[in-house]
Amino acid sequence: QKEVEQNSGPLSVPEGAIASLNCTYSDRGSQSFFWYRQYSGKSPELIMSIYSNGDKEDGRFTAQLNKASQYVSLLIRDSQPSDSATYLCAVKRGYGRSSYKLIFGSGTRLLVRP
Protein backbone atom coordinates (compact mmCIF):
# COMPACT_ATOMS: atom_id res chain seq x y z
CA GLN A 1 0.00 0.00 0.00
CA LYS A 2 1.31 3.45 -0.93
CA GLU A 3 1.65 5.98 1.87
CA VAL A 4 -0.45 8.52 -0.01
CA GLU A 5 -3.02 7.35 -2.55
CA GLN A 6 -4.96 9.25 -5.15
CA ASN A 7 -7.10 8.23 -8.08
CA SER A 8 -5.10 9.07 -11.20
CA GLY A 9 -8.15 10.16 -13.17
CA PRO A 10 -8.73 11.93 -15.39
CA LEU A 11 -11.62 13.49 -13.55
CA SER A 12 -13.73 15.32 -16.10
CA VAL A 13 -16.24 17.98 -15.00
CA PRO A 14 -18.16 20.64 -16.92
CA GLU A 15 -17.31 24.29 -16.46
CA GLY A 16 -19.08 25.73 -13.42
CA ALA A 17 -19.39 22.38 -11.62
CA ILE A 18 -17.78 21.33 -8.36
CA ALA A 19 -14.69 19.16 -8.76
CA SER A 20 -13.98 16.80 -5.87
CA LEU A 21 -10.49 15.37 -5.50
CA ASN A 22 -9.71 12.73 -2.91
CA CYS A 23 -6.64 11.45 -1.11
CA THR A 24 -6.05 8.79 1.55
CA TYR A 25 -2.93 8.29 3.67
CA SER A 26 -1.63 5.37 5.68
CA ASP A 27 0.25 6.95 8.61
CA ARG A 28 -2.30 7.68 11.33
CA GLY A 29 0.17 10.01 13.04
CA SER A 30 0.29 12.46 10.12
CA GLN A 31 -0.56 16.02 11.09
CA SER A 32 -0.07 18.27 8.07
CA PHE A 33 -1.50 17.97 4.60
CA PHE A 34 -1.05 19.91 1.39
CA TRP A 35 -2.58 20.21 -2.04
CA TYR A 36 -0.33 21.19 -4.94
CA ARG A 37 -1.44 22.06 -8.46
CA GLN A 38 0.78 21.18 -11.39
CA TYR A 39 0.13 22.34 -14.92
CA SER A 40 1.52 20.22 -17.72
CA GLY A 41 5.24 20.85 -18.13
CA LYS A 42 5.41 23.08 -15.06
CA SER A 43 6.48 22.68 -11.44
CA PRO A 44 4.09 22.06 -8.54
CA GLU A 45 2.66 25.06 -6.70
CA LEU A 46 1.01 25.01 -3.30
CA ILE A 47 -2.69 25.90 -3.29
CA MET A 48 -3.94 24.69 0.10
CA SER A 49 -2.65 23.40 3.41
CA ILE A 50 -4.73 21.91 6.23
CA TYR A 51 -3.76 20.79 9.71
CA SER A 52 -7.03 20.32 11.66
CA ASN A 53 -10.08 18.18 11.15
CA GLY A 54 -12.84 19.91 9.24
CA ASP A 55 -12.98 22.32 6.33
CA LYS A 56 -10.67 25.13 5.28
CA GLU A 57 -11.83 27.51 2.59
CA ASP A 58 -9.76 29.80 0.36
CA GLY A 59 -11.68 31.41 -2.48
CA ARG A 60 -13.06 28.69 -4.73
CA PHE A 61 -11.01 26.01 -2.98
CA THR A 62 -12.02 24.03 0.10
CA ALA A 63 -9.79 21.45 1.74
CA GLN A 64 -11.41 18.85 3.99
CA LEU A 65 -9.60 16.68 6.51
CA ASN A 66 -10.87 13.65 8.40
CA LYS A 67 -8.04 12.18 10.47
CA ALA A 68 -10.16 9.34 11.83
CA SER A 69 -10.77 8.12 8.28
CA GLN A 70 -7.29 9.19 7.11
CA TYR A 71 -8.86 11.10 4.29
CA VAL A 72 -8.15 14.50 2.71
CA SER A 73 -10.13 16.08 -0.09
CA LEU A 74 -10.05 19.20 -2.21
CA LEU A 75 -13.21 20.78 -3.58
CA ILE A 76 -13.03 23.30 -6.40
CA ARG A 77 -16.23 25.28 -6.80
CA ASP A 78 -17.26 26.94 -10.07
CA SER A 79 -14.59 24.99 -11.93
CA GLN A 80 -12.92 26.82 -14.81
CA PRO A 81 -10.99 25.43 -17.80
CA SER A 82 -7.92 27.09 -16.26
CA ASP A 83 -8.26 24.67 -13.32
CA SER A 84 -7.39 21.79 -15.66
CA ALA A 85 -4.18 20.41 -14.16
CA THR A 86 -2.84 17.57 -12.05
CA TYR A 87 -3.50 17.93 -8.33
CA LEU A 88 -0.99 16.38 -5.95
CA CYS A 89 -1.79 15.49 -2.36
CA ALA A 90 1.16 15.59 0.06
CA VAL A 91 1.64 14.56 3.68
CA LYS A 92 4.33 16.04 5.90
CA ARG A 93 6.94 14.00 7.75
CA GLY A 94 8.92 15.99 10.29
CA TYR A 95 12.50 15.10 11.00
CA GLY A 96 13.74 18.04 12.97
CA ARG A 97 12.74 21.35 14.51
CA SER A 98 12.87 23.22 11.25
CA SER A 99 13.01 20.57 8.58
CA TYR A 100 10.63 18.06 7.11
CA LYS A 101 9.91 16.11 3.97
CA LEU A 102 6.74 15.62 1.99
CA ILE A 103 5.32 12.32 0.80
CA PHE A 104 3.39 12.84 -2.43
CA GLY A 105 0.56 10.94 -4.01
CA SER A 106 0.77 10.20 -7.71
CA GLY A 107 -1.73 12.97 -8.50
CA THR A 108 -5.20 13.27 -10.00
CA ARG A 109 -5.59 14.82 -13.42
CA LEU A 110 -8.54 17.20 -13.60
CA LEU A 111 -10.10 18.21 -16.90
CA VAL A 112 -12.69 21.01 -16.90
CA ARG A 113 -14.77 20.98 -20.09
CA PRO A 114 -15.91 24.39 -21.47
Partner 1 sequence: NAGVTQTPKFQVLKTGQSMTLQCAQDMNHNSMYWYRQDPGMGLRLIYYSASEGTTDKGEVPNGYNVSRLNKREFSLRLESAAPSQTSVYFCASSDNNEQFFGPGTRLTVL
Minimal distance in Å, beta carbon 37 to partner 1? 11
What's the CA angle centered on 70, arms 46 and 35, to 5 degrees?
Answer: 10
Nearer Cβ to partner 1, position 82 or 99? 99
Nearer Cβ to partner 1, position 68 or 97? 97
Contacts of 14 (CB under 8 A, 6+ apart): 79, 112, 113
Nearer Cβ to partner 1, position 22 or 49? 49
C-alpha to C-alpha distances, 52 to 6, 24, 55, 86, 112, nearest whole angstrom: 20, 15, 8, 24, 29
Nearer Cβ to partner 1, position 13 or 88? 88
Minimal distance in Å, beta carbon 100 to partner 1? 7
Minimal distance in Å, beta carbon 106 to partner 1? 4
Alpha-carbon span 75 to 81, nearest angstrom: 15
Residues that bind partner 1 (CB under 8 A): 4, 8, 34, 42-46, 49, 88, 95-96, 98-107
Minimal distance in Å, beta carbon 14 to partner 1? 26
